[in-house]
């Protein structure tokens, strides 16, 4: 272990006692305080006496430590902002809704929770552990007191992909065991490696044993006794079978909780049912908790109403029906399919009793950080766009596709991964796991081909680095190292770590890097060992798309395609926590795929906002289910066809409440651009005379403008025209036909704003009366010969311009944040039409008008729906590939 790593651990230990009170303002003082102690010879000698590891470190070594880097890392760890989630609950006046927090938690001995909590506190900031404690308390209140005579509770917990849902439901089952739940079933992923990974987590957090070896909570000397050790009915590498279960326990021995982690597979579920029926011919009176991980996958009944439920759905229902007392909690990051369950069908798994939405901590490396374009850079710093894959790795290909060469972008991704390993080692993380994800196909045979090609390329790299990496003239000796240097210069222009130092580290580490396949037919399993770091390039498909966690993932090469929100988000294994190396994380994908992720993120955030609004209004899960079935622009795209089996008519909510619609696709034709300049001039001529009252800096705002003026402008302005209105409405942020319909049917007038950007003053006869109006500079993406595409037109500042002075004063007086679109829109009096004149960052000669509309967030939403019928041939074409199951 490096001096820096040891010192960081010592500083971490020093701060542990006071970290509950730690704030950003005092972190620097505390770190400097620690630094002073380490540089004091007397204190340093005391540490030497305490630690055999530190005896090998001289005071000179200590003085070389970059305390600023340690301070930054500590700030990342201890300045985490965490907030509790929120619920929709079906209230029952006859039920004790605070049975856990109000009474049982205080009087019960929290054996399982307390030791799990202590285990977490060794790895996580205290605020994160406290938040998990509070979240699981809320869910405990939502499930039922096991002392109640009989119950069947159905609920759902919505989290984020790779955000710690497993840790959350492990905490829940620990508390459930403390409360008296005697039988706990965790339904994990649909493949062995996913189930095995979940089993391992449950063994560490609840059982305390892997085989005969103590792990995790089992190492807790303070609170460890055989009398209370949970009975494990499944093992790390063995799914449920009745023979082993009978060996493990007689079911009538009820003083210990029993837990099984089973694969989401109907034959396994049927084995569990048979075993329960053999042991208990009648109804079972022991309280049951079922945790259904990735519950949107396979658990949903996708058959028609007049048919029997699908096999897995039916088996889960049978297990719940076998117990007099049962609580079922579905966990998912993509809840669309769950909410589409018909809540009127008796006995199905719709979360009728509660929906709880978890909030991710501020250090969560999630979709918004990765895919949303920042206002400062107008770019996605973690995305490296791929455009060289179509020959060797086309997005659409058949099982017999032959790949003979890796695309240059995939070779660069491999080199990037090697650099990341070296950089992390220099940062003191040489004992941490490092992974790279390669997800390009659903076909196992092609996985094997890609793995072999990567292995060949990696072997050449290993030889070059080992042979020449330490030489002063290494760039002259090796093409591979020259390519490494080029990748370093392109990907890490601002990084502190020196290329020569990175190569020097890699000469010692590169031999440990391996290539592994993650699918059912993989010959050598991927394993993250506890006694040494694993450096792995992992090639796979479905396993990687449905719950399998890659430790220390920093590089992803992703070429899979799908049109469904839930499938696409689940494929994103790169989400999670990347403390200390978030800046190294890169995702290689096409620009179109990155745009799809951003589109889905916006839609998902709208869904969560809807849930939050309904929580404020004390709505129930059933009401939320109805709302989602008519959610804007989501009916076709949220989930697979069989999960919305009866969807033939599509209803799009066109109220536009609390939405932003803006031009992102612009016509390229010069005549049409000139036409749009004239349209902008015409609306300007129809507006009131300019006065100082309507000028805000270099922006111009006109209030309460007749809606007919707005209608004429939007109707006249030329936007890029897709082949039909359906595509236009779902694939762009500007569904013109629907906007015009909305203006006709509503009596709302508009505000209009002409907004300045960062460019030079605009010279235009149409806009000559707007003095000092300037061009807005935007990054351009050329989509085809007919259109331009910009990534982002507006920002939060755009929407603020729509606020009146009175609204700004009210927000300030009531301490309402003015950096939240949702809050800003609550204070908009009318919809705001905003107009920019854009010039591109690449070429200032490319200029064109663009516009958007911000709609207020009304407390009373007026619902107006437009029904779309989709041609069955076109629908089949879009959905055909999604109905196929991945081979692996």
Q: What is the DSSP code (8-state) at residue 550?
A: P
Query: What pLDDT score was predicted for residue 3?
Result: 46
In this structure, are 325 and 279 located in the same domain? yes
User: Quick check: is 611 in a domain?
Assistant: no
pLDDT tens, residue by residue, 167-224: 899 999 999 999 999 999 999 877 787 888 899 999 999 999 988 889 999 887 666 6
Query: What pLDDT score was predicted for residue 873?
Result: 31
What Rg, from alpha-carbon coordinates, does the chain have?
A: 29
Query: Are the beta carbons of 856 and 830 closer than 8 angstroms?
Result: yes
Which of 544, 559, 586 is the endpoint of a domain? 586
Among 477, 471, 375, CA closest to 793: 375
Q: Provide the angle, in degrees to the nearest 10, between the axes of the packed helices 165-179 and 192-202.
A: 50
Q: How far is CA 682 from CA 210, 675, 679, 719, 878, in A?
A: 75, 10, 5, 17, 41
Q: What is the Cα–Cα distance from 833 to 707, expressed in whole angstroms?
A: 11
Backbone CA torsion sign across 41, 43, 44, 49: positive
Q: What is the DSSP code (8-state) at residue 631?
A: -
Q: What is the Cα–Cα distance from 670 to 678, expressed in whole angstroms?
A: 12
The helix (H) or strand (E) run that includes residue 12 is helix 3-16
Query: Are the beta carbons of 71 and 11 closer than 8 angstroms?
Result: no
User: Quick check: is 716 in a domain?
Assistant: yes
* DSSP SS3 for 462: helix
In this structure, are 829 and 717 located in the same domain? yes
Q: Which two tokens stand for residue 619?
A: 């709505």
Q: Provide the angle, in degrees to the nearest 10, between the axes of the packed helices 3-16 and 24-39.
A: 120
Beta-strand pair 364-365/576-577: antiparallel
Count Cα neighbours of 519 within 13 Å in the Cβ-side half-sphere. Answer: 20
Which of 570, 586, 602 is the endpoint of a domain? 586
Q: What is the Cα–Cα distance from 607 to 609, expressed in whole angstroms?
A: 5
pLDDT less than 50: residues of the chain: 1-3, 17-19, 50-54, 626-637, 641, 643-651, 722-732, 861-862, 866-888
> In 10 A of CB 551, how many CB atoms?
14
In this structure, are 667 and 789 located in the same domain? yes
Task: Report the predicted TM-score, pTM, of the whole model to 2 decimal places.
Answer: 0.66
User: Quick check: is 698 in a domain?
Assistant: yes
In this structure, are 71 and 170 located in the same domain? no
In this structure, are 285 and 146 located in the same domain? yes
User: Quick check: is 374 in a domain?
Assistant: no
In this structure, are 485 and 574 located in the same domain? yes
* φ, ψ for residue 797, nearest 5 deg: -60, -35
Q: How far is CA 522 from CA 281, 380, 410, 595, in A?
A: 41, 34, 21, 33
Q: What is the Cα–Cα distance from 706 to 686, expressed in whole angstroms?
A: 10
Quickly list DSSP for 351-410: --SEEEEPPPPTTEE-HHHHHSPPTTTSS-TTEEE--S-TTTS-SS--TT----S--HHH
* DSSP SS3 for 795: coil
Q: What is the Cα–Cα distance from 281 to 506, expressed in whole angstroms?
A: 62
Instruction: Find residue 425's DSSP bridge partners.
Output: none
Among 632, 858, 823, CA closest to 733: 632
Which of 78, 101, 136 is the endpoint of a domain? 78
In this structure, are 428 and 574 located in the same domain? yes
| Residue 9: domain span | 3-78
User: Quick check: is 217 in a domain?
Assistant: yes
By the 10 Å C-beta count (0-12 exposed, 13-18 middle, 19+ buried), 23 is classed as: exposed
In this structure, are 720 and 802 located in the same domain? yes
The helix (H) or strand (E) run that includes residue 421 is helix 408-426
In this structure, are 351 and 450 located in the same domain? no
In this structure, are 216 and 98 located in the same domain? yes
Q: What is the Cα–Cα distance from 761 to 775, expressed in whole angstroms?
A: 6
User: Quick check: is 872 in a domain?
Assistant: no
3-state secondary structure 653-702: ECCCCCCEEECCEEECCHHHHHHHHHHHHHHHHHCCCCCHHHEECCEEEE
* φ, ψ for residue 311, nearest 5 deg: -60, -50
Q: How far is CA 184 from CA 107, 202, 290, 728, in A?
A: 22, 11, 6, 48
Q: What is the Cα–Cα distance from 541 to 393, expressed in whole angstroms?
A: 14
Among 355, 383, 385, CA closest to 369: 383
Query: What pLDDT score was predicted for residue 864?
Result: 52
Distance of CA 134 to the CA centre of its chain: 22
Q: What is the CATH number of the domain that holds 242?
A: 3.40.50.300
Query: Are the beta carbons of 777 and 839 closer than 8 angstroms?
Result: yes
User: Quick check: is 20 in a domain?
Assistant: yes
Total domains present in the chain: 4
Residue 269 neighbours by CB under 8 Å, 6+ apart? 262, 312, 315, 316, 319
Among 8, 130, 146, 10, CA closest to 80: 130
Query: Are the beta carbons of 554 and 575 closer than 8 angstroms?
Result: no
In this structure, are 35 and 116 located in the same domain? no
User: Quick check: is 445 in a domain?
Assistant: yes
Q: What is the Cα–Cα distance from 94 to 154, expressed in whole angstroms?
A: 17
**Polymer length in residues for the chain:** 888
3-state helix, strand, coil in the chain (%, to 5): 45, 15, 40
Query: What pLDDT score was predicted for residue 730?
Result: 42
> In 10 A of CB 302, how many CB atoms?
19
In this structure, are 195 and 341 located in the same domain? yes
Distance from the first to the final alpha carbon of the chain: 39
Query: Are the beta carbons of 481 and 473 closer than 8 angstroms?
Result: no
Whose tokens are 């209230």? That residue is: 91
Instruction: Find residue 493's DSSP bridge partners.
Output: none
Q: What is the Cα–Cα distance from 593 to 561, expressed in whole angstroms?
A: 7
Query: Are the beta carbons of 793 and 850 closer than 8 angstroms?
Result: yes
* DSSP SS3 for 21: helix
* φ, ψ for residue 420, nearest 5 deg: -60, -40
């Amino acid at each position: 272990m490096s001096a820096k790593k040891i010192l960081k651990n010592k500083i971490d230990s020093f701060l542990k006692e006071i970290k509950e009170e730690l704030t950003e303002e005092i972190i620097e003082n505390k770190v400097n305080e620690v630094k002073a102690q380490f540089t004091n010879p007397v204190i340093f000698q005391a540490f030497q006496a305490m630690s055999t590891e530190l005896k090998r470190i001289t005071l000179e070594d200590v003085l070389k430590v970059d305390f600023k880097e340690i301070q930054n890392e500590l700030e990342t760890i201890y300045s985490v902002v965490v907030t509790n989630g929120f619920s929709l609950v079906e209230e029952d006046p006859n039920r004790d809704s605070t049975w856990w927090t109000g009474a049982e938690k205080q009087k019960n001995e929290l054996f399982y929770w307390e030791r799990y909590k202590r285990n977490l506190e060794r790895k996580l900031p205290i605020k994160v552990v406290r938040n998990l404690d509070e979240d699981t308390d809320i869910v405990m209140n939502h499930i039922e007191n096991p002392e109640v005579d009989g119950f069947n509770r159905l609920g759902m917990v919505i989290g984020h992909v790779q955000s710690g849902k497993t840790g959350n439901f492990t905490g829940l089952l620990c508390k459930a065991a403390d409360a008296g739940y005697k039988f706990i079933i965790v339904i994990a992923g649909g493949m062995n490696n996913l189930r095995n990974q979940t089993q391992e987590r449950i063994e560490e957090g609840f059982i305390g044993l892997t085989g005969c070896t103590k792990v995790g909570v089992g190492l807790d000397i303070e609170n460890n006794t055989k009398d209370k050790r949970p009975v494990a009915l499944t093992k790390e590498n063995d799914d449920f079978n009745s023979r082993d279960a009978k060996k493990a326990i007689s079911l009538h021995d009820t003083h210990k909780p029993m837990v099984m982690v089973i694969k989401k597979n109907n034959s396994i579920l049927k084995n569990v049912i048979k075993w329960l029926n053999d042991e208990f011919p009648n109804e079972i009176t022991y309280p049951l908790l079922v945790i259904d991980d990735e519950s949107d996958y396979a658990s949903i009944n996708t058959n028609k109403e007049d048919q029997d439920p699908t096999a897995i759905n039916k088996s889960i229902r049978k297990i719940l029906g076998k117990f007099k007392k049962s609580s079922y909690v579905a966990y998912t990051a993509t809840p669309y399919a769950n909410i589409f369950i018909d809540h009127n069908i008796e006995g199905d798994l719709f979360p009728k009793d509660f929906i709880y939405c978890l909030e991710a901590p501020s250090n969560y490396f999630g979709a918004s950080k990765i895919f949303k374009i920042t206002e400062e850079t107008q770019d996605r710093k973690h995305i490296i766009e791929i455009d060289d894959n179509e020959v060797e790795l086309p997005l659409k290909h058949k099982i017999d596709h032959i790949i003979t060469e890796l695309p240059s972008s995939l070779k660069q991704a491999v080199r990037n991964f090697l650099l990341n390993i070296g950089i992390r080692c220099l940062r003191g993380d040489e004992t941490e796991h490092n992974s790279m994800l390669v997800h390009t196909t659903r076909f196992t045979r092609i996985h094997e081909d890609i793995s072999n090609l990567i292995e060949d390329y990696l072997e050449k790299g290993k030889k070059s680095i080992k042979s020449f990496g330490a030489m002063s003239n290494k760039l002259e000796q090796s093409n591979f190292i020259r390519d490494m240097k080029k990748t370093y210069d392109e990907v890490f222009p601002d990084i502190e770590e020196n290329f020569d130092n990175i190569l020097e580290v890699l000469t010692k580490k590169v031999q440990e890097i391996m290539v592994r396949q993650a699918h059912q037919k993989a010959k050598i399993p991927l394993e993250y060992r506890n006694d040494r770091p694993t450096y792995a390039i992992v090639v796979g498909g479905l396993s990687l798309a449905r719950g399998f966690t890659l430790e220390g993932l920093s590089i992803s090469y992703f070429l899979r395609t799908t049109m469904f929100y839930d499938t696409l988000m689940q494929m994103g294994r790169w989400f999670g926590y990347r403390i200390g190396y978030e800046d190294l994380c890169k995702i290689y994908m096409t620009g179109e795929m990155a745009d799809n992720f951003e589109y889905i993120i916006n839609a998902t955030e709208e869904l969560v906002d809807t849930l939050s609004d309904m929580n404020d209004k004390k709505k129930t899960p059933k009401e939320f289910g109805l709302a989602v079935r008519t959610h804007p622009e989501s009916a076709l795209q949220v989930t697979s066809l069989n999960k919305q089996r009866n969807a033939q008519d599509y209803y799009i909510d066109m109220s536009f409440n609390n939405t932003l619609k803006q031009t992102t696709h612009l016509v390229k034709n010069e005549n049409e651009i000139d036409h749009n300049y004239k349209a902008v001039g015409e609306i300007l001529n129809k507006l009131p005379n300019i006065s100082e009252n309507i000028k805000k800096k270099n922006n111009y705002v006109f209030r309460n403008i007749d809606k007919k003026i707005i209608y004429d402008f939007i109707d006249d302005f030329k936007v890029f025209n897709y082949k039909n209105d359906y595509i236009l409405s779902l694939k762009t942020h500007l569904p013109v036909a629907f906007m015009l319909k909305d203006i006709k049917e509503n009596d709302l007038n508009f505000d209009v704003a002409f907004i300045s950007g960062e460019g030079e003053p605009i010279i235009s006869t149409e806009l000559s009366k707007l003095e000092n109006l300037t061009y807005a500079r935007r990054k351009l993406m050329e989509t085809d010969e007919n259109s331009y595409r910009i990534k982002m037109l507006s920002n939060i500042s755009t929407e603020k311009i729509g606020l009146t002075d009175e609204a700004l004063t009210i927000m300030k007086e009531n301490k309402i944040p003015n950096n939240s679109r949702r809050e800003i829109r609550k204070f908009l009096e009318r919809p705001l039409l905003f107009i920019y004149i854009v010039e591109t960052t690449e070429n200032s000669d490319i200029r064109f008008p663009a516009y958007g509309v911000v709609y207020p967030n009304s407390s009373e939403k007026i619902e107006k729906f437009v029904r779309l019928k989709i041609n069955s041939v076109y629908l089949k074409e879009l959905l055909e590939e999604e109905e196929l199951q991945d081979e692996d």
